[in-house]
A and B are shown apart, each in its own frame.
Chain A
């Protein structure tokens, strides 16, 4: 009987009994599990393989217009199309899939905070999206014989890592929102396009109407796109740390909001005894 009050405390404050080291171990274990799952799952691998193909039409337009100098734009777009597909399509369905496969109840019943598990899984999926960069680079080399030079490799690595982290963080929020909403597909589809357009992933936002550009800094892809494009060009780059902070900051904010929504929703479902029913 003496265990019951403790159990109630756990429900109310899922983080209180876990110190940092155990959270870290949980994240590592989840990352390992998700990596093993992803490697065998076509639903995860398909976007990584096919999305970078979009580098081909983009490069074709640039070459046909004698603007090979814009090759970096094409490869940036291909990378972000891959990460975007991983976040909005694959990661965002993690919660709904856990629900449909009746795995969510088990995960929620363990002492591990579900939001942390979700975040770690979304991070793995997001990191896999980075393969899009390598594939797009190779496709450009093989199909068009163009070697895209990387003028700022360190900044490129930081930008890629930052994009993966921000993508994982954003996916926590979208996953939470998608399983709250009834019309998952609508939101999912309505998110991609505006996200890409507003962030200027292929064409920089200066070519958008001025009133739309105001909103672009709120999209993490905007910072990713600008940083990756700059890292591929020979010109010196300004304000790197500020821009990478903005990128990671946006991802972290999204992750925290997503975790709060998810924790509150799960707590409510548990209190009402409807977790397995909803």
Chain B
């Protein structure tokens, strides 16, 4: 219970972070314009290749991951810059929940970005998915966002260790997911070794489930993909909590907590 309370306070700090960057108007006008146009840049590749199936593949992949992975890794390192990191380390509560709470506000942004992108693309490409797909969409997008968030938290612990690299790690996450997890090409495109890595990453299984739902695939496959995505998400959550604490302990041991 205490973990939830700490997480909630972290989330409140995160909400303040969010408001420093955005109001709902600037978020809709600035951020969403960026997301929608970037997604279109990729979806138009389907037109360039003159292949409706590629267009459809890119549309679902890019809309499901629109905005996914942005800001959160950087937010993990902000306690370093605000000088609150040492206080979190000496507090009796687990610092992982506090930092993850602060990061998590951006996850809600991913969910809304993705759902708005789907709505926009369905409208301009005149697509009419069946109602089960539409009903499942919010839950699937939330699943992808949550598992990506747990993976971001794991990466965020490294951003905490080397704060100047926070944005590089964040971008590598975004482009890594875009390349490897079946957003632009099926993971079978890659060699077996890369496919193993992809299957350990968030998004891979969940996006596969979403694609099956959209194409009315067999429900057994859908549920097993969802199960795998949940398994991947939980594993990254455990690793993230361990990793945050390990680095905090390391900082305590070698006296580098106050040094950014």
Contact = CB atoms under 8 A, between A and B. Distances in A.
Specify whether A and B are partners.
yes
B40 interface: yes
A42 B41 contact: no
B34 A192 contact: yes
Given A61-B58, A203-B47, A49 B168 contact: yes
B95 to A, nearest CB: 24
B30 A65 contact: no
A194 B39 CA distance: 11
Contacts of B1: none
* Size category, A interface: 35 or more
A194 B49 CA distance: 22
Nearest to B186: A64
B164 interface: yes
A186 B24 CA distance: 11
B48 A70 contact: yes
Contact of A183 (B26, B44, B54): B26
Interface string A35-58: 000000011001101110110111
Given A60-B189, A183-B30, A187-B30, A197 B41 contact: yes
Interface in B40-89: 40-42, 44-45, 47-49, 51, 54, 58
Nearest to B31: A189
B178 A65 contact: no
Interface in B14-45: 21-22, 26, 29-31, 33-38, 40-42, 44-45
Interface string A177-197: 000000101111110111011
Contacts of B121: none
B171 interface: yes
A60 B179 contact: yes
A186 B29 contact: yes
B171 A192 contact: no
Given A194-B33, A196-B41, A202-B44, A60 B168 contact: no
B21 to A, nearest CB: 5
B164 A194 contact: no
Given A192-B34, A197-B37, A42 B164 contact: yes
Contact of A65 (B31, B49, B164, B165): B49
A249 interface: no
B147 interface: no
* Size category, B interface: 35 or more
A226 to B, nearest CB: 14
A58 B42 CA distance: 8
Given A50-B171, A54-B175, A57-B185, A185 B21 contact: yes
B34 A189 contact: yes
A208 interface: yes
A187 B26 CA distance: 9
Interface string B163-205: 0110110011001101100011110010000000000000000
A51 B167 CA distance: 11
Nearest to A196: B41
A186 B58 contact: no
Contact of B175 (A50, A186, A201): A50
Nearest to A188: B30
Given A185-B22, A203-B47, A208-B44, A53 B179 contact: yes
Choose among B47, B172, B175, B183 the residue with the greatest number of A CB atoms under 10 Å from its CB: B175
B54 A61 contact: yes
Nearest to A43: B167
Nearest to A199: B41
A14 interface: no
Contacts of B178: 54, 57
Contacts of A188: 30
Contacts of B175: 50, 53-54, 56-57
B99 to A, nearest CB: 21
Interface of A: 42-43, 46-47, 49-51, 53-54, 56-58, 60-65, 67, 70, 73, 183, 185-190, 192-194, 196-197, 201-204, 207-208
Given A50-B172, A189-B31, A203-B44, 6 more contacts: A43-B167, A50-B168, A190-B30, A190-B34, A203-B41, A203-B45
**Which 7 pairs of residues, A with B, have the shortest CB-CB distance?**
A193-B37, A186-B30, A50-B171, A186-B26, A193-B34, A42-B164, A203-B44
23 contacts: A46-B165, A46-B168, A50-B171, A50-B172, A51-B171, A54-B175, A56-B175, A56-B179, A57-B183, A60-B184, A60-B189, A61-B45, A62-B49, A65-B49, A65-B51, A185-B22, A185-B30, A186-B29, A187-B30, A193-B36, A203-B45, A207-B44, A207-B47
